[in-house]
Structure 1
Amino acid sequence: MKIRIIALGRAKAGPEKSLVETYRKRLSWPSELIELEAKKGITGAELMAAEADLIEKTLGAKASAKRVIIALDERGQSLPSLDFAKRITALGNHGYGELVFIIGGADGLAPSIRDRAGLLLSFGAMTWPHMLVRVLLMEQIYRAQTIIAGHPYHRD
């Protein structure tokens, strides 16, 4: 399984960036973090549209039969870790070799990006800083990998 995370904003050196790298190094699945930044000085709908364009260009025009797009969105499903691992297993069993996670900007994701997603995923009703969401996501991907492998990292 290949993991790609497309995230708006660039992480500065600090604990969040360090934790993301720690979990990336633990993963046996190949992973990539792609950071995108819209031009400065725009806000609201204009910013969301610019971010959507950047994401679309990164995804490419063609949908791949071997990848699934998972967008992090407050309206998405909130899955327990075991169910998240089961979902990843099921996707792999159905021939998907790549998971592309998308973390939007402060205003969220444009409807066009949400519509492309095969799964909308939420980390609950609380609002999280975008840099911390990267850590939460990477840890949950690592946790899913350990659950799938039967490793004792995750405890019921």
Structure 2
Amino acid sequence: MNIKLVVVGKLKEKYFKDGINEYAKRLSRFCKFKIVQVPDEKAPETLSQAEMDDVMDKEGTRILAKIKDREYVIALAIQGEELTSEQFAKKIQDLTTYGHSDITFVIGGSLGLAPKVLKRANFELSFGRFTLPHQLMRLVLTEQIYRAFMINSGSPYHK
């Protein structure tokens, strides 16, 4: 099984890198896990809606270039479906059972994901209505993927 995160922007904070690396190392016994970073689009603090759409579109093109046709894509989107950890684990298990061995998660930049990325997604996942920094979301998502594998293996880790 292959799990890939396609993310916008570089991770700068060492504490996020350390946490993600720890969970990635733990995940290696369950799957091939990798993170693919695409450059974020430089933009001033205040943007018009057209400028925001342009930034998201350019980032979206970069994201889509990293996704193959056979990959099952889960986009992280605030308007997506909220799952418990157990439901998330079952979703991953069901995907592998039904022949989806390549699962790709997408985390957008600070403005979110372009409509064309959401259109390509097979599923939209929300971690709640909070807005979280996309760097923190990488760590939270990586931990939840690990937790899902631990739940599916019957481990008491997730309690």
| Pair in the same fold by TM > 0.5 | yes
Q: Hey, what does 1:102 align to over in structure 2?
A: 106
Q: Match of 1:85, SS?
A: helix
Contact 2:60–2:113 (CA<8 Å) still a contact in 1?
yes
Contact 2:6–2:36 (CA<8 Å) still a contact in 1?
yes
1:82-105 Cα shifts (integer Å, max 9, x gaps): 000001111011011011000001
Contact 2:6–2:38 (CA<8 Å) still a contact in 1?
yes
Contact 1:38–1:54 (CA<8 Å) still a contact in 2?
no
Task: Work out the number of aligned pairs and report it.
Answer: 151
Q: Percent identity?
A: 37
Q: CA deviation at 1:78?
A: 0.8
Single out whichever of 33-42 and 91-100 deviates more from structure 2: 33-42
Q: Unpaired runs of 5+ in structure 1?
A: none
Alignment partner of 1:44 is 2:52? yes
The TM-score normalised by the length of structure 1 is 0.92
- After TM superposition, list the pairs within 5 Å mapping 1:1-156 onto structure 2: 1-27=1-27, 28=29, 29-41=31-43, 43-60=51-68, 63-64=69-70, 67-155=71-159
Q: Match of 1:82, SS?
A: helix
Which 4+ runs in 1 deviate beyond 3 A? none
Alignment root-mean-square deviation, CA = 1.2
- The letter of the residue matching 1:48 is M
Contact 2:41–2:59 (CA<8 Å) still a contact in 1?
no
1:7-44 Cα shifts (integer Å, max 9, x gaps): 00100141111101110000121100011113434751
The TM-score normalised by the length of structure 2 is 0.91
